[in-house]
Structure 1
Amino acid sequence: MLAPVLAAIALSLAPQEASVSHQASGTFNVSITPVAPAEGAAPDTPGRMILSKTFHGGLTGTGEGEMLATMGPEQSGAYVAMERVRGSLDGRDGTFMLVHRGIMDRGAQELLITVVPGSGTGELEGLTGVFHLTIAGGEHRYVLDYNLPTE
């Protein structure tokens, strides 16, 4: 029983691999396609949607995922999504996953989109980060604050 605890302590004390902070920014196009609810689903069952994105700028490539969302009275609701991104991030090729969590409380919004730890492949292995998005004038913009292990 003590061995797992000691192993966790040893890992936390081990030298950590260095990483370098970066920032990529640009725009993206998004298509959201609703999926019909299952037959007999309750009226308040969260809606399911398929996401399809094309990224431009520091991140070039595509994103595909699924979203669950619900909206209640008084502009209150939430959404969650998982998205797989495939492309090039500042010239490094690979894939990674994003996890989305959005809350709206009487119109006040809170959004957190992060890179799923351990999801990077190819030259994006070890990627961590936070994806910030803004929508202005109908244009979707992003800033991805990220870290990659040093070579």
Structure 2
Amino acid sequence: AEVDRFDAAGGARYTGDLRDDLTRVVALYTQLVMRRGRLLAVLLAELPSADELGGLIERPQRIVRAVARLIRRYQREGALEPEPPLQSVAALLGPVLLAGVLRPLATRPEPPDPSAHVERFLHGRRATHPTKG
């Protein structure tokens, strides 16, 4: 259901506006992780030893693949520096996932701000074009 909500809300849809697309992805992923962070932590911890859980990871993998395709498209257009798309996905969504997993340890847990997070992500990954002259 969570993955379906992500998709229904536009998820990793390409619009041509890099900042808006990534902010939407991070905002939706943040909502998902804040609702399901504890479950994700247990799932990630148990996956290596529990073959029967393999099917559960398929839906979150859909999100990762969709975001990787979106990032790859922006890389091909020259808007993002080229790097393995899954590495970019990890840099974009990894901190959000970790915040959700660590949330129970915080006395006043606050979700990350999607816009600020995307700005920091873009600061290190926006393609730079040499200027002439």
Report TM bin, short chain.
under 0.3
The structure in which a higher percent of residues are helix is 2
Structure in which a larger fraction of residues adopt strand: 1
Relative contact order higher in (CA < 8 Å, ≥ 6 apart): 2
TM-score, structure 1 as length reference: 0.23
TM-score (norm 2): 0.25
